[in-house]
A and B are shown apart, each in its own frame.
Chain A
Amino acid sequence: MLEALRLCKRFGAIAVAQDVSLKLERAERRVVLGPNGAGKTTLFNLLAGELRPDSGTIRIAGRDVTALPVDARARLGLARSYQRNHLFPGLTVAENLGLAAATAQGRAGGVLADSLSDPAVVETVREVAQEVALLELLDVPIDALAYGPRRQVEVGLALATRPQVLLMDEPTSGVGPGMVEAFRQLLARLPPTLAILIIEHDMDLAFGIADVVTVLDHGEVVFEGEPAAARASPLLKEIYLGSWSGRAGA
């Protein structure tokens, strides 16, 4: 569904992506791991079109999208949620999800009918609200929500476009253990055909949901394989724990 071929991106002297290749199949759930600054969010920005790679190719469902802007890639079925909430302030939860659903369903430009009361849009909003457990909060303005529910809206916005490929950047960052479990259940309820790429720091969650794990370090793919292999890999231990054990030793 989503393919990256030898992506390279430099910011001045710093290589944030070096020959990154990965292939996300239909129905695959892949977790991207790596320490801070490994280039995980940069990879997402390259895949979604917010950054242009210096070289390399990106394909969605076999189609070369390297030159396409963010919105055109989204229309091909790519959705993403952000590490930091990126919502529509001043609007309610239902209006937030409604804008996403209406845009994806081609109702954003009608000058006669109201997109937010369109039956298909309303239906999608309710489905998504159920998926991310926001049914009770549909009429609440975003600005009045606590951080946890805002995080749910963040994921809900991406889901409401009913994508083929979903990129989620640390969906559980900053939320309590209860919500991590709720998120695990949410993932289980999503359409099985959906291809999902997740950046996740919670190791238990990551290994629990992943079919495949990709590990990035200094902008390079240093490991790709099944979670069990990743867990056993000394390389991963070193990347994640190296600095800690070093500090403990000092």
Chain B
Amino acid sequence: MFRQTALRSVTIALLLTAGVAYGLGAGFFGRELLTEVAILAILAISLDLVAGFGGMVSLCHGALYGIGAYAFASATVLLGWGGAAGIVLGIAGATLFAWLVGAVTARTHGIFFIMATLAFGQMAYVYVFDSALFGGDDGLPGVIRLDLSALGIDLGSSQSFALFCVALAGLSYALAAGLLRSGFGRTLVGIRSNEARMRALGLPVQRYKAAAFAISGALAGLAGTLAAQHTMFVSPDLLFWTVSGEVLVVVILGGLGTLVGPVLGAALFVFLRHEVSSLTDHWHIVVGLVLIATVLSGGRGLYGQLEHLLSRRRASGAQEHA
């Protein structure tokens, strides 16, 4: 069962504080990196929700993210809607697509589920890539950002936008943690633990899995709308399956099923990529080595490993006191 432990609360508070401090103190380039971290963190939280807690390892989260981005771009560029309507459309579009994928794939498990989600994701990619309406492989330029001038905030500035994304990442974490502590979240963990028994207890499992996937899609869609606003441009690359693979790496690196870990993983991934790619073009090798080390050392991920070590120390400490 998911527990919002004191350690997790402290960690997420520290990460958010660090994000805000970095956003206020860093230069333009640092703020761009921070924005990337925040968006990737939302996408990673979205994936951890279904993969870490529902046992549904998806390879279509890139597509959900891209659909969110494209829906935002279409709303603002093609339909001339405002940013707020664009965000709503982006979230709704990704939610709907995720629900469809979830409903169709709910009976499959393991590698078949992964392949089915991959196929759905690639279908979305190919569709957008070939679509004249959405600009084909050229993408859609001229995407606007949400207008918050009524609140005295100019999201056109890289600093405000970075902080806006950090705030939404914090909100996404709170929403995901709240959901996981609810009846729905408990049920999701039950399905991961023993799906057949949940069904035998009277749960319409497929409906719950599709709903979980849809909720995850909503968060992925939100991340996509932010990505579109960040670069003010969308291209089919956003939907490509390697994006899904990258998020999965981020989640596993940080700690699958810890919810905090994926946020940490997003920060590490973006900064590692930035630091190492200034030294060598082969930055993937470094990420790969870190991933291999993570998997070989128990597969708990960095944050999962930390929690594991601390709980073991506490257990042995309790024994000494007894």
Q: Does A associate with B in a complex? A: yes
A12 interfacial by beta-carbon distance below 8 Å: no
B187 interfacial by beta-carbon distance below 8 Å: yes
Q: What number of A-B contacts does a CB cutoff of 8 Å give?
A: 97
A216 interfacial by beta-carbon distance below 8 Å: no
Closest residue of A by beta carbon distance from B184:
A111
Distance of A104 Cα from B202 Cα, bound (Å): 7
B168-217 interface (Cβ within 8 A of A): 179, 181-184, 186-187, 189-190, 193-194, 196-205, 208, 211
Closest residue of A by beta carbon distance from B189:
A91
A57-92 interface (Cβ within 8 A of B): 69-72, 74-75, 79-80, 86-92
A93 interfacial by beta-carbon distance below 8 Å: no
B78 interfacial by beta-carbon distance below 8 Å: no
Interface string of B155-172 (1 = CB under 8 A from A): 000000000000000000
Distance of A86 Cα from B194 Cα, bound (Å): 8
Q: Which residues of A contact B200 (CB under 8 A)?
A: 48, 50, 70-71, 74, 79-80, 86
Whether A107 and B183, one on each chain, are in contact in the complex, defined by CB atoms closer than 8 angstroms, is yes
**Contacts A87-B197, A115-B182; A102 near B187 (Cβ below 8 A):** yes
The answer, among B194, B196, B198, for a CB contact under 8 Å with A103, is: B198
B310 interfacial by beta-carbon distance below 8 Å: no
Whether B201 and A109, one on each chain, are in contact in the complex, defined by CB atoms closer than 8 angstroms, is no
Closest residue of B by beta carbon distance from A107:
B183
Whether A114 and B201, one on each chain, are in contact in the complex, defined by CB atoms closer than 8 angstroms, is no
B10 interfacial by beta-carbon distance below 8 Å: no
Q: Which residues of A contact B148 (CB under 8 A)?
A: none
The answer, among A110, A112, A157, for a CB contact under 8 Å with B197, is: A157
Whether A115 and B189, one on each chain, are in contact in the complex, defined by CB atoms closer than 8 angstroms, is no
Whether B202 and A111, one on each chain, are in contact in the complex, defined by CB atoms closer than 8 angstroms, is no
Distance of A118 Cα from B211 Cα, bound (Å): 22
**Contacts A74-B201, A75-B202, A91-B189; A111 near B182 (Cβ below 8 A):** yes
**Contacts A100-B201, A108-B208; A89 near B193 (Cβ below 8 A):** yes
Whether A114 and B183, one on each chain, are in contact in the complex, defined by CB atoms closer than 8 angstroms, is yes
Q: Which residues of A contact B189 (CB under 8 A)?
A: 91
**Contacts A88-B194, A91-B189; A103 near B203 (Cβ below 8 A):** yes
Q: How far, in Å, is B171 (CB) from chain A's closest CB?
A: 16
Q: How far, in Å, is A141 (CB) from chain B's closest CB?
A: 10
A95 interfacial by beta-carbon distance below 8 Å: yes
A161 interfacial by beta-carbon distance below 8 Å: yes
Whether A115 and B202, one on each chain, are in contact in the complex, defined by CB atoms closer than 8 angstroms, is no
Q: Which residues of A contact B184 (CB under 8 A)?
A: 108-111
B290 interfacial by beta-carbon distance below 8 Å: no
B1 interfacial by beta-carbon distance below 8 Å: yes
Distance of A156 Cα from B181 Cα, bound (Å): 24
Q: Which residues of B contact A79 (CB under 8 A)?
A: 200-201
**Contacts A88-B197, A161-B202; A114 near B190 (Cβ below 8 A):** no
A99 interfacial by beta-carbon distance below 8 Å: yes
A interface size (C-beta, 8 A): 37
A98 interfacial by beta-carbon distance below 8 Å: yes
Q: Which residues of A contact B203 (CB under 8 A)?
A: 71, 103, 108
Q: How far, in Å, is A140 (CB) from chain B's closest CB?
A: 14
Q: Which residues of B contact A108 (CB under 8 A)?
A: 183-184, 186-187, 203, 208
Q: Which residues of B contact A89 (CB under 8 A)?
A: 193-194
Closest residue of B by beta carbon distance from A74:
B202
A94-138 interface (Cβ within 8 A of B): 95, 98-100, 102-104, 107-116, 118
**Contacts A113-B183, A115-B186; A104 near B201 (Cβ below 8 A):** yes
Q: How far, in Å, is A126 (CB) from chain B's closest CB?
A: 17
Distance of A206 Cα from B153 Cα, bound (Å): 76
**Contacts A102-B187, A116-B1; A90 near B182 (Cβ below 8 A):** no
Whether B182 and A114, one on each chain, are in contact in the complex, defined by CB atoms closer than 8 angstroms, is yes
Closest residue of B by beta carbon distance from A118:
B183
Whether B197 and A109, one on each chain, are in contact in the complex, defined by CB atoms closer than 8 angstroms, is no
Q: Which residues of B contact A116 (CB under 8 A)?
A: 1, 183, 186
Q: Which residues of A contact B181 (CB under 8 A)?
A: 114
Distance of A50 Cα from B203 Cα, bound (Å): 14
Q: Which residues of B contact A87 (CB under 8 A)?
A: 194, 197
Q: How far, in Å, is B177 (CB) from chain A's closest CB?
A: 12
Closest residue of A by beta carbon distance from B187:
A108
Q: How far, in Å, is B187 (CB) from chain A's closest CB?
A: 4
Whether B182 and A103, one on each chain, are in contact in the complex, defined by CB atoms closer than 8 angstroms, is no
Whether A98 and B186, one on each chain, are in contact in the complex, defined by CB atoms closer than 8 angstroms, is yes
Q: Which residues of B contact A71 (CB under 8 A)?
A: 199-205
Distance of A98 Cα from B187 Cα, bound (Å): 10
Whether B182 and A88, one on each chain, are in contact in the complex, defined by CB atoms closer than 8 angstroms, is no
Q: Which residues of B contact A99 (CB under 8 A)?
A: 186-187, 190, 198, 201
Q: Which residues of A contact B187 (CB under 8 A)?
A: 99, 102-103, 108-109, 115
User: Which B residues lie at the A interface, using CB under 8 A?
Assistant: 1, 179, 181-184, 186-187, 189-190, 193-194, 196-205, 208, 211
User: Which A residues lie at the B interface, using CB under 8 A?
Assistant: 48, 50, 69-72, 74-75, 79-80, 86-92, 95, 98-100, 102-104, 107-116, 118, 157, 161
* 20 sampled A-B residue pairs with Cβ under 8 A: A71-B203, A74-B200, A74-B201, A86-B197, A91-B1, A95-B1, A95-B186, A100-B201, A102-B187, A103-B187, A104-B202, A108-B186, A108-B187, A108-B208, A109-B183, A109-B184, A111-B179, A111-B182, A113-B183, A114-B186
